[in-house]
């Protein structure tokens, strides 16, 4: 549920964040403002669709909204990545029969019921005998019987219809492709020039893909790796370490892996990302039926709830808000589901049972103590001051039951932290010393409705200020009116 503090600034009464994709259904300033007011914390620009002009216009609307509300808004550019697709058919679509032979080759001649073009020599180079190819999100399954540098002979195992430009997945095969196409590089340069806060990297297969993107981004945005290729799971720890955040993109994972493997893998990714202190988004088809329906299925509501119970930093809407008929309603329902789960005593039991292992540092010790102290004294919030965001990330990893008020003098940091569990990021003037921080924290908490007069705050900081990760002070402060 969205609430408004006495200063008129919007804040959330839940800790889990909501990411929503902008598109034709949500292009106007009025609808974008309604999405924000209803509960969106991070806005996603999907570069698989739309022009640079479209994305630039939406980002300008968001920055104007940010200035009007006084609350940092995070914007994510989601890069398309390589899209492996068959070419076209002379009749637009063909009928297939299980057991028949079907050829894939490099010819761009329109296909028929016996063959079609596949303009990706990288696939042919990587195929091995008996490899499986999945077309149209797995609706058509082919088993390879022979291949060369420019063709693959296959047998249709299942599926009866195939049409133009359907996608191709090759399970269990590491494809010799960069995660960044030429289009992605142009989109990335544009997005960085526009000042996006997060860049989501698609088609991550190995740590080298993350390193390549990080070099191009050069610190101008935070990097989020999308885990949608099973090959990435073999390098999960390295990819998490090299990334600023993770997205569990269950669409392609669900195509290339058995459906029964995806839920356990989702839990593993969430657990390991939290252990590393990296925010993680659960995405894909969360409220898919709401593209055309004003309410979700019970299974979809349960799916969102499960991600919240698992401790996700954020849950994401894609087509539901980009092209759906009920974008605001989808955000509202997702908000209500998250609030309901977080009010369940079982949710707190789960969060408390899964505290990550602490490093033997003063910073980790104080951050863990802050969560415990906040619980014991029933504090209204935990307050941190951060420049890089590392102090806030450490606090969020503990999954406290109260909000984390993250004060920072860097607007870029404030925006990026909007993705992180429980964080209300506030852009404020630089703070000279700890005494000033305490005064500012109590004033902001009171003005924004985070705390009432007479409540207490648990405040952590690193002294001297300006040293990332140097958390070494914990203090309890009373909230008093000026």
Ordered DSSP codes for 120-177: -HHHHHH--TT-EEEETTTTEEEEEEEEETTEEEEEEEE-SEEETT-BEE-TT---S-
Known catalytic residue: 226?
Answer: yes
Among 469, 462, 459, 445, which residue's Cα sits nearest to residue 390? 469
Catalytic residue (one of 71, 141, 226, 250): 226
Collect all residues with Cβ–Cβ distance below 8 Å to 34 and sequence separation of at least 6: 328
Per the CB < 8 A criterion, the answer to whether 243 and 225 are in contact is: yes
Query: Six-digit token pair at 16?
Result: 């889990």
Known catalytic residue: 443?
Answer: no
Known catalytic residue: 267?
Answer: no
- The three-state secondary structure class of 409 is coil
What is the C-alpha separation between 332 and 10, in angstroms, rounded? Answer: 15
Catalytic residue (one of 12, 14, 44, 250): 44
Catalytic residue (one of 284, 384, 391, 471): 284
What is the C-alpha separation between 338 and 171, in angstroms, rounded? Answer: 34
Catalytic residue (one of 9, 63, 83, 85): 85
In 88-246, which residue ranges form alpha helices assigned H by DSSP? 121-126, 182-194, 207-217, 230-233, 236-242
Per the CB < 8 A criterion, the answer to whether 276 and 241 are in contact is: yes
Known catalytic residue: 85?
Answer: yes
Per the CB < 8 A criterion, the answer to whether 173 and 51 are in contact is: no
Residues marked active site are found at 44, 85, 226, 284
């Amino acid at each position: 549920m969205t609430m408004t503090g006495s200063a008129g600034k919007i804040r959330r009464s839940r800790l889990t964040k909501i990411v929503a994709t902008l598109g034709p259904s949500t292009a106007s300033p009025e609808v974008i403002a309604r999405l924000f007011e209803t509960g969106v914390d991070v806005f996603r620009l999907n570069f698989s669709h739309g022009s640079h002009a479209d994305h630039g216009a939406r980002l300008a609307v968001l920055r104007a909204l940010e200035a009007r509300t006084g609350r940092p808004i995070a914007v994510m550019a989601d890069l398309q990545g390589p899209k492996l697709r068959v070419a076209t058919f002379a009749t637009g679509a063909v009928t297939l029969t299980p057991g028949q032979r079907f050829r894939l080759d490099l010819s761009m001649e329109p296909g028929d019921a016996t063959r079609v073009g596949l303009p990706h020599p990288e696939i042919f180079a990587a195929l091995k005998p008996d490899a499986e190819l999945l077309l149209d999100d797995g609706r058509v399954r082919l088993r390879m019987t022979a291949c060369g540098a420019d063709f693959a002979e296959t047998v249709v195992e299942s599926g009866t219809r195939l049409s133009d430009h359907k996608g191709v997945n090759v399970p269990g095969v590491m494809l010799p492709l960069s995660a960044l196409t030429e289009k992605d590089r142009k989109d990335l340069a544009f997005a960085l020039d526009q000042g996006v806060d997060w860049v989501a990297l698609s088609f991550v297969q190995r740590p080298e893909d993350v390193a390549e993107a990080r070099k191009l981004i050069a610190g101008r945005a935070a990097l989020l790796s999308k885990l949608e290729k099973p090959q990435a799971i073999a390098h999960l720890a390295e990819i998490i370490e090299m990334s600023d955040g993770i997205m569990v993109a269950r669409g392609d994972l669900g195509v290339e892996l058995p459906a029964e493997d995806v839920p356990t893998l989702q839990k593993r990714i969430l657990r390991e990302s939290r252990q590393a202190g990296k925010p993680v988004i659960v995405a894909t088809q969360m409220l898919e039926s709401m593209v055309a329906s004003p309410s979700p299925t019970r299974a979809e509501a349960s799916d969102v709830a499960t991600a919240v119970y698992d401790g996700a930093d954020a849950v994401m809407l894609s087509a539901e808000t980009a092209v759906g008929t009920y974008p605001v309603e989808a955000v509202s329902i997702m908000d209500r589901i998250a609030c309901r789960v977080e009010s369940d005593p079982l949710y707190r039991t789960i969060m408390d049972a899964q505290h990550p292992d602490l490093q033997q540092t003063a910073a980790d010790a104080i951050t863990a103590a802050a969560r415990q102290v906040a619980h014991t004294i029933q504090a209204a919030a935990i307050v941190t001051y951060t420049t890089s965001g590392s102090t806030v990330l450490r606090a969020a990893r503990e999954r406290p039951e109260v909000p984390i008020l993250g004060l920072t003098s860097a607007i870029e940091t404030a925006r990026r932290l909007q993705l992180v569990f429980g964080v209300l990021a506030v852009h404020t003037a630089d703070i000279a010393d700890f005494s000033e921080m305490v005064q500012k924290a109590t004033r902001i908490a009171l003005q924004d409705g985070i705390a009432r007069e007479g409540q207490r705050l648990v405040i952590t900081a690193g002294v001297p200020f300006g040293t990332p990760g140097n958390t070494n002070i914990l203090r309890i402060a009373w909230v008093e009116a000026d």
